Amino acid sequence: MPATSGPLTPGLASFLKTLKTNPIDTSIDNLISLLKRRQIRHSRSCATATAYLLRGVISASRTNDASKLIERVQHVGRRLMAAQPREMVVGNIVRRVLGLIRDEAEDDREGDFNLSEAGSESQPQTPRGLDDPTDALSGRHDGSDRGASRQPFSALTAAPISMFSLLSHPEAENSLPGTPISASPSGRLLGHAPTKDIRAEVLDGISEIIDELTQVDDQIAAYALDHIHSNEIILTHTSSTTVQKFLLKAAAKRKFTVIHAESYPNNHEATHATVSGANPHDDELLSTESFQKPLIALGITVILIPDSAVFALMSRVNKVILGTHSVLANGGLVAAAGTRVIARAAKVHQTPVVVVSGVYKLSPVYPFDFDSLIEYGDASKVIEYEDGDLVDQIDVQNPLYDYVPAELIDLYITNLGGHAPSYLYRIVSDHYRKEDISV
C-alpha cells in the first residue's frame, strides 16, 4: 500500500484527493487510520484534514437541525480524537466547528424574535422540511454503516427529532411570538425549527477556518518586523513553516543571523532541508511550501548547530523563536523534544523566548498530567541498526515532544497578534465555547 504509488502515499494530499470521491464514512475511517498510523503528523496537516472532513460530514448530513449536527460532529470528533489524543489540533478544530454550529443556532433563535420575517423566510424551506424525513433516513443508513454500536441510538434519536421538527414547523409559523421563546429554553436548541439554512452557514464557517489555516503563517509573518531588528542573532529549533515564514518576512527588510538547532534525531532531515533549501521530501507539507526560498537565498547567514551546542551559543543569541506543536490553555506548550532545554537555556541567559503559533494550535485543554501529552517515537532513530544488539540490553528512549511550562515563554505571536502567556486563556474563551471543552 505505501510506497508503490508515489503521489498517493498516505498523507494529507491523498486524503484530500479522495475526500471528494469517497463516501464520507470511508473518509472518516480513512482519516482515523491515518491519524493512528501517524501518516498525518504536522499540526496543520491534521487541522486541515479535520476541517475538510468535518465540512464533508456536515454537507453530507442533510439536516438543518443544529442539535443533530452537533451530535454528528461530536460523534465524529470523538472518534478522531480517540484515534490520536495527542494531536490536540484535531480536538481544537472539532470544538471550533461545534462552536460554529452553536453560534448559528443561537443567532437563529434570536432571529426568531421578529417572526414575521422569519416566517416568510421559512416559507420556501417548508418543502425542505418535508423532505427531511427521507434525508434523515439516508443519513441514518450512513450511520448504521459506520458503527453497529451507534445504530440503535441514532435510530432512536433520529426518528423523534425529525418527527418533532415536522410538527414544530407549522407550529412555529402559526404561533404567536411568545411561544417559541417559551419553547426554546425548555428544548434548548433541540426541538427548535431551523428558520434559515444553518448548514450553509456552518459550511461557510468551516471554509473560513480552512482559509485561516492556509493563511495563518502569512498572518503571523506580518508581525515579523515588529519583533526582529537588524543584526540580531536569532536561535530557532527544528523545522517549522511558521517560523521559517516569519524569518523570511523579516529577512526581506533586515539583515540578521539565524542559528538553527537541528533537532536530531526526529526532524533533522527536514531541518537540514529547510536550512539548505534542498527540496523537502516531506509529502505532508503542502506543495506551496516546498517552493519556499531558504533564508540563505536572501542573504541571511544561517548557522546550523547540533542541539548540544545550544547552551554554548546562547550567550550570543538575542532572541529565541520557536515553533510549537500545540499550545495549552495555561500558556505552556507541547513542542518538539529539545525545546524545553532551549527555552530553559534562554531563560538562564535572560534571552527572550518568542513562540509563533496559529490560534488553531491553541487548545482549551488544561494539562494536569504533562506526561500524558508526550509521545514517544521510534527508538531506531536513536540507536541505529548496526547497534541493534544494544536495543536488547538497554532501554532506548526517543521522546517526540517536550512540555514547556509557561514561565519559560516571554511572548506568543499568533495570527491575532502578540500576547503574554498569561493572556492566552482569554483567547481560548474567545474561540471555544464552554460546553465544548470536553467534547
Partner 1 sequence: MTSSTPTAPSPSPAAAAAAPASTPASNTSSSSKPSKQQQSSSQSQKPKPANKSKDSASAASAGGAAAAAPADGATAQLTPAELKKRAKAEKAARRARERAERESGAAGGPGGAGSSAGGGAGGGGAGSSAAGKKDGGSAAGSAGGGGSRQLPRRGSAQNASQTGGGSTKHKKTDDKNVAVFGHLYGQQRRTTVAGAGKEVHPAVLALGLQMRDYVVCGSSARCVATLLAFKRVIEAYTTPLGTSLPRHLTTYLSHQITYLSTCRPLSISQGNAIRALKLAISSIDPSTPEAEAKAFLGEFIDSFIREKITVADQVIASSAAQKIQDGDVIVTFAGSSIVKQTLLLAHKQGKKFRVSIIDSRPLFEGKSLARALANAGLDVQYSLIHGISHAIKAASKVFLGAHAMTSNGRLYSRVGTALVAMSAKERAGGVEVPVIVCCETVKFTDRVALDSIVVNEIADADELITAEPMQQLTGLPDPVAAATASAADAKKGGGSKSAAAAAANAAAESNTLTQNVSSPLTGWKESANLQLLNIMYDVTPAEYVDMVVTEMGSLPPSAVPIVHRMSTNM
Residues between 162 and 201 with contacts to partner 1, criterion CB under 8 A = none
Considering beta carbons, is residue 378 or 435 the nearer one to partner 1?
A: 378
- Left if phi > 0, otherwise alpha if psi is -120 to 50, otherwise beta: which for 396? beta
Which one, of 12, 151, 157, 8, lies nearest residue 71 by Cα? Answer: 157
Which one, of 53, 63, 60, lies nearest residue 206 by Cα? Answer: 53
Considering beta carbons, is residue 179 or 301 the nearer one to partner 1?
A: 301
Show Cβ contacts of residue 350 under 8 Å, excluding neighbours closer than 6 positions. Answer: none
Query: In the complex, what is the shortest distance from the CB of residue 9 to partner 1, in angstroms, rounded to a whole number?
Result: 6
Query: In the complex, what is the shortest distance from the CB of residue 338 to partner 1, in angstroms, rounded to a whole number?
Result: 4
| The one segment of 20-28, 70-78, 176-184, 293-301 that binds partner 1 by CB under 8 A | 293-301
Considering beta carbons, is residue 22 or 380 the nearer one to partner 1?
A: 380
Query: In the complex, what is the shortest distance from the CB of residue 234 to partner 1, in angstroms, rounded to a whole number?
Result: 14
Considering beta carbons, is residue 316 or 426 the nearer one to partner 1?
A: 316
Instruction: Check: CB of residue 28 under 8 Å from CB of residue 61.
Output: no
Which one, of 357, 148, 337, 161, lies nearest residue 261 by Cα? Answer: 337
Number of residues that bind partner 1 (CB under 8 A): 71
| The one segment of 56-64, 207-215, 219-227, 275-283 that binds partner 1 by CB under 8 A | 275-283
Q: Is 286 in the site for partner 1 (CB under 8 A)?
A: no
Distance between CA atoms of 192 and 198, rounded to whole angstroms?
12
Binder to partner 1 among 86, 254, 272, 431 (CB under 8 A)?
A: 272
Q: Is 16 in the site for partner 1 (CB under 8 A)?
A: no
Strand partners, 258: 234, 302
Residues numbered 325 to 364 that lie near partner 1 (CB under 8 A) are 336-338, 340-341, 344-345, 348
Which one, of 216, 162, 231, 171, lies nearest residue 190 by Cα? Answer: 162
Which one, of 299, 217, 224, 285, lies nearest residue 257 by Cα? Answer: 299
Distance between CA atoms of 10 and 31, rounded to whole angstroms?
10
Binder to partner 1 among 307, 328, 329, 432 (CB under 8 A)?
A: 307
Query: In the complex, what is the shortest distance from the CB of residue 267 to partner 1, in angstroms, rounded to a whole number?
Result: 9
Query: In the complex, what is the shortest distance from the CB of residue 419 to partner 1, in angstroms, rounded to a whole number?
Result: 22
Tell me 337's DSSP state. Answer: T
Strand partners, 413: 356, 418
- Left if phi > 0, otherwise alpha if psi is -120 to 50, otherwise beta: which for 331? left
Q: Is 9 in the site for partner 1 (CB under 8 A)?
A: yes
| The one segment of 65-73, 103-111, 133-141, 296-304 that binds partner 1 by CB under 8 A | 296-304
Crossing angle of helices 115-122/125-146, nearest 10°?
70
Considering beta carbons, is residue 406 or 437 the nearer one to partner 1?
A: 406
Longest Cα–Cα distance of the chain, Å, equals 80
Q: Is 311 in the site for partner 1 (CB under 8 A)?
A: yes
Query: In the complex, what is the shortest distance from the CB of residue 8 to partner 1, in angstroms, rounded to a whole number?
Result: 11
Which grid coordinates belong to 202? Answer: 456552518
Considering beta carbons, is residue 11 or 91 the nearer one to partner 1?
A: 11
Q: Is 310 in the site for partner 1 (CB under 8 A)?
A: yes
Considering beta carbons, is residue 158 or 373 the nearer one to partner 1?
A: 373
Binding mask 373-412 for partner 1 (x = CB under 8 A): -x---x-x-xxxxxx--x--xxxxxxx--x--x-------
Rg (CA), the chain: 25
Considering beta carbons, is residue 159 or 382 the nearer one to partner 1?
A: 382
Considering beta carbons, is residue 30 or 162 the nearer one to partner 1?
A: 30
Instruction: Check: CB of residue 2 under 8 Å from CB of residue 276.
Output: no
Binder to partner 1 among 111, 147, 254, 264 (CB under 8 A)?
A: 264
Instruction: Check: CB of residue 196 under 8 Å from CB of residue 105.
Output: no
Phi, psi of 241 (to 5 degrees): -65, -35
